[in-house]
Amino acid sequence: MTIARVRLTSKTFPRINLLVAILAFLASPATYAVAQTESAPIVATNNIPSLPDAPGLSNGSPANGEYSSSNNEMGNSRGARGAAFDVAEARRSFLATRRDITIYPGQSAPPLSARDKEILGLKQTFTLFTLIGWTTSAGYTQLVNGSPNYGTDSGAFGERLGAAALRNTTQNIFGNVIFAPLFHEDPRYYKMGKGHKGYNRILYAATRALITRADDGHATPNYSLIAGRVVGAALSNTYYPQANRGFGRTAETFGTAMAGAAFGFVVTEFLDEALQIAHLKKPE
């Protein structure tokens, strides 16, 4: 009996070792930072400037108790609505959670230092949410036989899954670990939440791929995310099949990555409601 295997051969990935070495080199400063998390605690602040295109943040209760549900996910017994985002607690955890990377309405959001962004970005690279994203991307392209064009057999799915993992890891490390500190941008998602019309929430969430918050709270083009996707698309030329390389196909990969980022923000915006509908979370 022939056993299906993932065809990650040197012919398919001619420079895979080089890419892995690059990722390891880029991750090393953040790995060192993780070991030093206790040396510089951050104090939460209530001075939260608002974006002109987003709901204002206040020190009161968030709409529909969204933040308290986030606390329940983390097993946090505080349960205080509008409580300050605990950066020190986020830095001590091994992996990033939705509570670390999502700011709910009414929740205080202390500024992140460059090291905090490196730690958060590195931990965010390997989570259940990212694993689902890799699998979904590989599954869809396998179904439609899309880019990267490895074919449609079982081995092709493994290759697509590996390529999705490499591409998204590269995008995240460059975007959140390197470019977010460089461009002084906040990599967290500020949720609009309930109490707003659905199409406004969809539009707001989708445009976060292009617009984000600077460290001072003001709206700014999302240079870090865009630049991370550019680098991720460019590096895909080192492991994608020959048919998916070159300027035109790289531009296509970049466009797909940007669309995926926009979709991911929309999912984040409505995830709590979706979990409630699926009876995986108690309604508020």
SS3 content of the chain, % helix, strand, coil (to 5): 55, 5, 40
pTM of the model: 0.69
Band of residue 284 on the pLDDT scale cut at 50, 70, 90: low
Segment 3-24, tens digit of pLDDT: 333 344 444 444 444 444 444 4
β strands within 93-144, DSSP E: 102-103
Segment 228-276, tens digit of pLDDT: 999 999 999 999 999 999 999 999 999 999 999 999 999 999 988 888 8
Q: Domain residues of the chain, as ranges?
A: 29-39+112-277
* Res 213: pLDDT: 96
Per DSSP bridges, beta strands 189-190 and 102-103 are: parallel
Q: Alpha-carbon distance 19 to 249, whole Å?
A: 19
Stretch 132-160: mean pLDDT? 91
Stretch 107-124: mean pLDDT? 88
From residue 159, alpha-carbon distances to 4, 150, 169 in Å are: 12, 7, 15
Average per-residue pLDDT in the chain? 75
In this structure, which amino acid lies at residue 182?
A: L
* R_g of the chain, CA atoms, integer Å: 20
Q: Alpha-carbon distance 220 to 159, whole Å?
A: 37
Band of residue 49 on the pLDDT scale cut at 50, 70, 90: very low
